[in-house]
């Protein structure tokens, strides 16, 4: 629960609501990113723990990004209720090969 994934249903705490009329696209567990890619994260202004969620509403060309930094034991897999069928679920893995490219972006 709480692993990075593309598609499927998000692992949200009760304190976060699935944005109305938005499709879940991606969740990134920032601790997985930090431990997998050893570029200089101090150059980037984002947290090093927690989960970032990305939702989109294609008909209105709108996206919502949510962030949660609480304990993983509070995460629940939210099911699709009144929404269209979710995208297939795919695990997201981070690779060291990104380091030189991202480090270059950071300065």
Per-residue pLDDT averaged across 64-93, rounded? 87
Instruction: Give me the pLDDT at residue 107, please.
Output: 46
Which element (helix H / strand E) includes 34? Answer: helix 30-36
Q: What is the pTM of this model?
A: 0.79
Among candidates 50, 56, 52, which has minimal Cα distance to 19?
Answer: 56
Average pLDDT of the chain? 82
Ramachandran bin of 83, using left for φ above 0, alpha for ψ from -120 to 50, beta for the remaining angles: beta
pLDDT top residue among 99 and 8:
8
Determine the pLDDT at residue 27: 96
**CA-CA-CA-CA torsion sign (99, 95, 1, 67):** positive
Q: What was the pLDDT predicted at 32?
A: 87
Enumerate residues 6+ apart whose C-beta is below 8 A from 106.
39, 40, 43, 44
Per-residue pLDDT for 103 more than 70? no
- pLDDT computed for residue 24 by the predictor: 93
Strand partners, 6: 26, 90
């Amino acid at each position: 629960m709480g692993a990075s994934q593309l598609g499927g249903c998000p692992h949200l705490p009760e304190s976060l609501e699935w944005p109305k009329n938005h499709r879940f696209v991606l969740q990134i567990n920032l601790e997985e990113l930090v431990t997998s890619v050893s570029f200089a994260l101090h150059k980037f202004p984002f947290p090093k723990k927690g989960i970032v969620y990305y939702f989109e509403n294609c008909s209105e060309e709108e996206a919502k990004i949510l962030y949660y930094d609480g304990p993983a034991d509070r995460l629940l897999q939210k099911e699709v209720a009144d929404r269209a069928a979710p995208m297939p679920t795919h695990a997201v893995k981070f690779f060291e090969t990104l380091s030189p490219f991202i480090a270059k972006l950071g300065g």
